[in-house]
Chains A and B, each alone.
Chain A
Amino acid sequence: MHRFANPARFMRLSERLMPWCAAGAVVFLAAGFYLALFVAPPDYQQGEAVRIMFVHVPAAWMASFVYLLMAVASAVALIWRHPLADLAAQAAAPLGAGFTLVCLVSGSLWGQPMWGTWWVWDARLTSVLVLFFLYLGYIALVHAFDDPSRGARAGAVLALVGAVNLPIIKFSVDWWSTLHQPASVFRIGGPTIDRAMLAPLLVMAVGFMLYFASLLMLRIRTAILESRLRAARLGEAEIAAETVAGPAQ
């Protein structure tokens, strides 16, 4: 891991990896949307409304996964002070917030026709709303300090504390009686969802994952370039100060 945590090495590696991830994302997302809208059968109870699942569920998986990644990166940043770990967590946060928003909005649009309500304060929905606010809080906190390293530290602590929410989201549907249904894919005993629907769902999920991977790399690259720019500007300011005041003794 340490070998890849070097910014220069990351730049080289991501430059080669990113086009493949991006191309894969385009292919899988295009196939996913096609399968979800044209090939997957309507549900015997829900009819065509079930198609909302194909964006809702991958978005929900990504919402939790991105937070998990952010929490792990934050732990690495706090313990080993890795230069890339903070950048990775900060690059991931807006993407995670985006996935969570899609999950909440599509869930609401699914809830109205199926449950008869846009929103209920059941354990699953509430814990995912908390996840959304954790993302927003993290982004706000990181930028609330003049010194970026202090912002990164405070954000990392928040991300770690907020990780308690992840098992609550996952098991909320088992621990409490919720309007939201229990897990039907990642469960002991295998998926209960029919293969005709599971296949498009998984294609879409792979597309979301590749999309996230390519954008995460791009955003980390942007952050590395930004820090190089800052260093270069700082260097120029020092040279300018020296030419005015004479070289420092």
Chain B
Amino acid sequence: MMDFLAMGGYARFVWPAYGVAVLMLMGMAAVSLRSWRRRQRLWSEISATRRR
């Protein structure tokens, strides 16, 4: 396990590279999903007031 984390002495290069990639992938998905959900909520509110 320690061997794996050490990455043959390149740990301080390999792990930040993977960290940046995972952070970007998750971050972009989270931001896009949140802005979709916010607009969906607004849309259902507008549709509700229209029906009245």
Selected from B13, B36, B39, the residue in CB contact (under 8 A) with A113 is B13
Distance to closest chain A CB from B20 (angstroms) = 5
Chain B interface, >50% SS class: helix
CB-based contact A105/B39 at 8 Å:
no
* B28:A106 contact, CB within 8 angstroms: no
- Taken together as a complex, chains A and B put the C-alpha atoms of A52 and B8 apart, in Å, by 13
CB-defined contacts of B24 to chain A, threshold 8 Å: 98-99, 101-102
Report A-chain residues with C-beta under 8 Å of the C-beta of B28.
94-95, 98, 215
Residue B25 interfacial (CB < 8 Å): yes
Which chain B residues lie closer than 8 Å to A95 at the CB level? 28
Cα A47 to Cα B11 with chains together (Å)? 11
Q: Is A112 an interface residue (CB 8 A)?
A: yes
A138 on the B face (CB < 8 A): no
Report B36 CB to chain A, min CB distance, Å: 5
Shortest Cβ distance from residue A20 to the other chain B in the assembled complex, whole angstroms: 16
Interface residue ranges, A against B (CB under 8 Å) = 29, 33, 37, 42, 47-49, 51-52, 55-56, 59, 94-95, 98-99, 101-102, 105-106, 109-110, 112-113, 211, 215, 218-219, 221-222, 225-226, 228-229, 232-233
18 A-B pairs in the complex with CB atoms less than 8 angstroms apart: A37-B18, A48-B7, A48-B9, A52-B13, A55-B21, A56-B17, A94-B28, A98-B28, A101-B20, A102-B20, A102-B21, A106-B21, A109-B14, A112-B13, A113-B13, A218-B33, A219-B32, A229-B39
Interface residues of B (CB under 8 A from A): 4, 7-10, 13-14, 16-18, 20-21, 24-25, 27-29, 32-33, 35-36, 39-40, 42-43, 46, 50
